[in-house]
Amino acid sequence: MAITAQMVKELREKTGAGMMDCKKALTETDGDMEKAIDLLREKGIAKAAKKADRIAAEGITSILTEGNQAVILEVNAETDFVAKNEQFLNLVQDIAKQLLNSKPETVEEALEQKMPNGESLSEFINSAVAKIGEKINLRRFSILSKGDQDVFGAYQHLGGRISVLTVLEGTTDESIAKDVAMHAAALNPKYVSREQVPAEEVEHEKEVLKQQALNEGKPENIVEKMVIGRLNKFYGDICLLEQDFVKNPDVKVGQFVKSNNATVKELVRYEVGEGLEKRQENFAEEVMNQMKK
């Protein structure tokens, strides 16, 4: 297939490799982005596969806790202007309260459920759209529960660009849970522990690391040991408990939590626009669009 400049640009953003290396990798893999990432990693050109899509869409993430229940949610809007609008922020809080009251399992179910005033959440959001003048979308949410002897840790960064909600068992010290949430906001772990990493993801990483070591000219009899060592680094990159704690890099997050007689039960991290594409538009055009409304 034809390799476009946009494809090369995307691969560069995901791997940090040079333009010609990216173009060659895409050509060799017939335009398959994931295979091209693996190929660059195997050659040692890409240090890591940044598989998360660009963060693009506007909006906000938010957290609401009430007793032993808490909700973390993301609501999207078209522009950053609206995301900072008081009407929009109040709408997000109203949605959060509704989610905690009705406890739906999916966004689709949530949108159909009735508000206290009798209208559905979908109708409530559409009413806000008419007033605010932009498309507004409840994208996702998670409702978490805790016991009386457990604690929520809620942390929001940059006014809600990132929100993290944790549940810690064995402690009621909110500061510990918040420190864990703050760490997760900064380092973005995909999983709490290595036990949560899907077996197929581990096997895929092993194959990439093995090929990488062989391409470096390492003897086959030590490749397996090298793979085990590098796999530990892989876990350290994606697993919360195995990451160096941001407030004290001399200890792992798992050690910090354990020293406080606690365990991490759940963690949810939302960042505005993860995986969503944003229309190509410059700042001046965005201002003009706002002035026309």
**Taking 80 as the threshold, does the pLDDT of residue 53 lie above it?**
no
pLDDT at residue 139, as a whole number: 95
The CB-side HSE value for 22 (13 A sphere, CA atoms) comes to 20
As a whole number of angstroms, the distance between CA 153 and CA 173 comes to: 9
pLDDT at residue 285, as a whole number: 53
Q: What is the mean pLDDT of residues 182-191?
A: 96
As a whole number of angstroms, the distance between CA 106 and CA 127 comes to: 21
* CA distances for 49 relative to 89, 223, 265, angstroms: 35, 21, 28
Q: Which CATH number fits domain 58-191+265-276: 3.30.420.40, 3.30.479.20, 3.40.640.10, 1.10.8.640?
A: 3.30.479.20
Average pLDDT value for the chain: 88
Q: At 264, is the pLDDT very low, low, confident or very high (cuts 50, 70, 90)?
A: very high
- Give the start-to-end residue ranges of the domains of the chain: 1-51, 58-191+265-276
Q: Which residue has the higher pLDDT, 221 or 246?
A: 246
- Tell me: domain 1-51, CATH 1.10.8.10, correct? yes
pLDDT exceeding 70 applies to what percent of the chain? 90
Q: Which residue has the higher pLDDT, 91 or 79?
A: 91
Q: At 281, is the pLDDT very low, low, confident or very high (cuts 50, 70, 90)?
A: very low
As a whole number of angstroms, the distance between CA 169 and CA 98 comes to: 26
pLDDT exceeding 90 applies to what percent of the chain? 64
As a whole number of angstroms, the distance between CA 148 and CA 241 comes to: 24
The CB-side HSE value for 201 (13 A sphere, CA atoms) comes to 13
User: How do residues 116-171 score in pLDDT, each as one tens digit?
Assistant: 888 899 989 988 887 887 888 999 999 999 999 999 999 999 999 999 999 999 99
- DSSP string computed for 61-103: EEEEEETTEEEEEEEEESSHHHHT-HHHHHHHHHHHHHHHHH-
